[in-house]
Structure 1
Amino acid sequence: MSQTITVKVKLLPTKEQEEILNEMSHTYISVINQLVSEMVDNKKSTKKTSKHVTALLPGSVKNQAIRDSKSIFSKRVKKSNYKIIPILKKPVCVWNNQNYSFDFTHIHLPLTFDGKTKRTPIRALLVDKHNRNFDLLKHKLGTLRITKKSNKWIAQIAVNISPIEKTGTRVIGVDLGLKVPAVAVTDDGKTRFFGNGRQNKFVRRKFKSKRKKLGKLKKLCAIRKLDDREQRYMKDQDHKISRAIVNFAIDHNISVIRLEQLTNIRQTARTSRKNEKNLHNWSFYRLSQFIEYKANLEGIKVEYVNPAYTSQTCPKCSEKNKAQDRKYKCKCGFEKHRDLVGAMNIRYAPVVDGNSQPA
């Protein structure tokens, strides 16, 4: 199954290019807001083409604005029965995949100079430390979005990854958690623990304490910057853990990674008051998505299993027992770390879609 991810690339435009990008970004959202407003008044989707849009934008960008406005109208306005009328505020400009290209140093795309459209190279940091961005951009490309964030211009490129699956039947189970972010176990008993849950909780408490102090001083901008720093930290941790898990799978010639299907876990999971807030802040979906797309790039399939009783069932005799803290003990004599028991059971649990490799 193909997967769409977003590759972020830092842009280094000239002063002239920056002025044009800024103007085009504001014009783009203005066009979308105007078209959506017209569709709301007429109670139907627009039939306008780029010829009907009077704005200083390339024709291809006008067409993309029309497509985006139709999407907003059908998916948000009509779906809410006209109760939600979104108004875009954040400047952005979008090009479809047929109207931009790139090399190792520049992204080439049409810009409007003095009312004329000209294909222009904008300097970009496409090659990162491990060449991962450039490797990702070899896959099927989607739309290109350019926006400004914290005085930096960022290009967001949608990439559609179609995995090439490895032949083989070796499976690992990966249990995701709070105190231990991830535990993996192979079919021959090789295990590894990933991440540091205590460190993550400490960092979150530290950010929370700083936010509290800034809140008393009513420094809202500083709070927003702090929130951004915290999110970047947690996202970086998820990237590192997912990369380590996939590398572990590669080292052991694994063809399938099995994860728990954790949809609605916030509503269904039982946890202590101590960990309740951490559960609601836990980026389990993002971590599983990072594992999936990194695994797909290596030809490793990711399957999701039913999470019911994976941490309570004894892998040796199938009896259900509740673990005491992090230690799992069974009457049959089996004794292991609770999260390790979960990973062992995930290897054999029923796959959600029913299409599974034998473990």
Structure 2
Amino acid sequence: MPTLTMKLELMKPTRHKQAIYRQMTELNTRFANWLLGYEELARATSAHFRKFSDEKLPSAIVNQTIREVTSKKKNQKAKIFRRQWCVYNNQNFRIEHENGQYKVSFPTQEKRVGVPVVAKAHQLKRLELALSEGANIGTAMLHEKKGKWFVSVSFAFATPKPAETAKKMMGIDVGLDFLAVGSIGTHACFFSGREVAFHRRRHAARRKQLGKAKKLNAIRKSKGKEAQWMKEMNHLISRRLVDFAVANGVRTLRMEDLTGIRHSAKSKKEAGRNLHSWAHYQLQEFIAYKAAMAGIQVEYVKPDYTSQTCKCGHAEKANRKRHVFRCRTCGYQLHADLNAAINIAKAISGLSATKKAG
């Protein structure tokens, strides 16, 4: 069942509400740290909160915090939690659409509150999809960032059953000069990396100047802006690839398993910035969950020789030169990234044993 998480900004909460949110966060953090040393944690319930404090904290938050601390304690390296945000589950958190606006409601120390949310265009589409298709709300975390309050809500979608007759396979190759190439046979779609490369060079040049001026905060902001821009680009590319797959009746989508691979391919225009620094893993993740929501199965293949192998079976590094693939044995010629995408669709190197189908 594919899961989607959305970060929704609360619309201008009053100072009083913000104070309540902060009080709940501080109390919940103290409670989480108390639980770390509580000997009967495995049997703890909301009733045990009274052993910790006489203050009020909604039982919904208490129960969720007990579950989260129990889960995290085994892997908790630090002796204390720096901050434990309040988390709700689908029994006490609601999201509704009223009078043309979305709002969320949840219990607080004083009462249950309903708060409108600020949703961007792409978020509005996802919220509409989630509510119209009856997606299950998972957990919702109330948190603050740079003076603004948000709820990060997870939705679980039921995967639609694909038609038995739909057997088309699609392969997707990710790269440097072309961020992604999708192939259904020789029917393909290309996504050039020129615009992204331009933005990356611009940000890199900007950070170089800031580094000379020792403006560290400005450097961090520049990195954040670049990451956010790349994230939005990955959302756009993944949406178009999945739409392309749906329009062509694709049943299964295949991508390379890039786990643990540090690519050596470099751009001449971007000295020192190799393929590994690109957000290709993020792009694949976006493709995977969007495909799952559309009822398309996702599989991962071994990356061995997918860019060097001809349809005749001959594999040689010299077969590929930048964007051109030309077989040294049979003379077959094609765009190199398209050839790789076709090989990925065929899974010529076999399915990955480490990253399973979704």
TM-score normalised per structure 2: 0.85
Indicate yes or no: 2:65 matched with 1:65.
yes
Identify the match of residue 212 of structure 1 among 185, 208, 211.
208
Question: Do the aligned partners of 1:35 and 1:46 also contact (CA within 8 Å) in 2?
Answer: no
Identify the match of residue 103 of structure 2 among 99, 102, 106.
106
Question: Do the aligned partners of 1:3 and 1:161 also contact (CA within 8 Å) in 2?
Answer: yes
2:313 aligned residue: 318
Secondary structure at the counterpart of residue 265 of structure 1: coil
Matches of residues 9-48 of structure 1 in structure 2 within 5 Å?
9-12=8-11, 13-36=13-36, 38-39=37-38, 45=41, 47-48=43-44
- Write out per-residue CA displacement over residues 128-184 of structure 1, whole angstroms, 9 at most, x where no aligned residue: 455223313531221100111232221101222331132210111111112111111
Identify the match of residue 94 of structure 1 among 54, 63, 87.
87
Q: What runs of 5+ residues in structure 2 fail to find an aligned partner? A: none
Deviation at 1:248, TM superposition (A): 1.0
- Write out per-residue CA displacement over residues 62-81 of structure 1, whole angstroms, 9 at most, x where no aligned residue: 1212222222212x13xxxx
Identify the match of residue 136 of structure 1 among 126, 130, 153.
130
1:297 aligned residue: 293
In 2: Cα distance, 1:299 partner to 1:226 partner: 38
Indicate yes or no: 2:244 matched with 1:248.
yes
2:281 aligned residue: 285
In 2: Cα distance, 1:212 partner to 1:47 partner: 55
Identify the match of residue 161 of structure 2 among 160, 165, 174.
165
Instruction: Specify whether residues 355 and 71 from structure 1 end up closer, same or farther in structure 2 by C-alpha distance, changes over 3 A only.
Output: closer
1:348 aligned residue: 346
Comparing 217-226 and 4-13, the one that deviates more:
217-226
2:325 aligned residue: 328
Comparing 26-35 and 302-311, the one that deviates more:
26-35
In 2: Cα distance, 1:277 partner to 1:30 partner: 43
Question: Do the aligned partners of 1:9 and 1:156 also contact (CA within 8 Å) in 2?
Answer: yes
In 2: Cα distance, 1:161 partner to 1:207 partner: 37
Deviation at 1:127, TM superposition (A): 7.7
In 1: Cα distance, 2:120 partner to 2:229 partner: 22
1:339 aligned residue: 337
Instruction: Specify whether residues 355 and 57 from structure 1 end up closer, same or farther in structure 2 by C-alpha distance, changes over 3 A only.
Output: closer
In 1: Cα distance, 2:214 partner to 2:308 partner: 47
2:175 aligned residue: 177
Deviation at 1:222, TM superposition (A): 2.5
Identify the match of residue 141 of structure 2 among 145, 156, 174.
145
Counterpart of 1:4, as a letter, is T
Counterpart of 1:70, as a letter, is T
Report % sequence identity.
34
In 2: Cα distance, 1:56 partner to 1:212 partner: 51
Comparing 234-243 and 296-305, the one that deviates more:
296-305
Question: Do the aligned partners of 2:251 and 2:296 also contact (CA within 8 Å) in 1?
Answer: yes
Indicate yes or no: 2:126 matched with 1:125.
no
In 2: Cα distance, 1:174 partner to 1:108 partner: 41
Question: Do the aligned partners of 2:87 and 2:140 also contact (CA within 8 Å) in 1?
Answer: yes
Instruction: Specify whether residues 253 and 109 from structure 1 end up closer, same or farther in structure 2 by C-alpha distance, changes over 3 A only.
Output: same
Q: What runs of 5+ residues in structure 1 fail to find an aligned partner? A: 78-83
Counterpart of 1:23, as a letter, is Q
In 2: Cα distance, 1:26 partner to 1:307 partner: 47
Indicate yes or no: 2:83 matched with 1:85.
no
1:258 aligned residue: 254
Question: Do the aligned partners of 2:264 and 2:275 also contact (CA within 8 Å) in 1?
Answer: no
Deviation at 1:273, TM superposition (A): 8.3
- Write out per-residue CA displacement over residues 17-76 of structure 1, whole angstroms, 9 at most, x where no aligned residue: 22211221222223222322x15xx6x8454332332243111111212222222212x1
Secondary structure at the counterpart of residue 99 of structure 1: coil
In 1: Cα distance, 2:80 partner to 2:221 partner: 24
Deviation at 1:90, TM superposition (A): 4.6
In 2: Cα distance, 1:213 partner to 1:87 partner: 39
Secondary structure at the counterpart of residue 82 of structure 2: coil
Secondary structure at the counterpart of residue 124 of structure 1: strand
In 1: Cα distance, 2:203 partner to 2:84 partner: 29
TM-score normalised per structure 1: 0.85
Question: Do the aligned partners of 1:126 and 1:134 also contact (CA within 8 Å) in 2?
Answer: no
Comparing 58-67 and 221-230, the one that deviates more:
221-230
Counterpart of 1:265, as a letter, is I
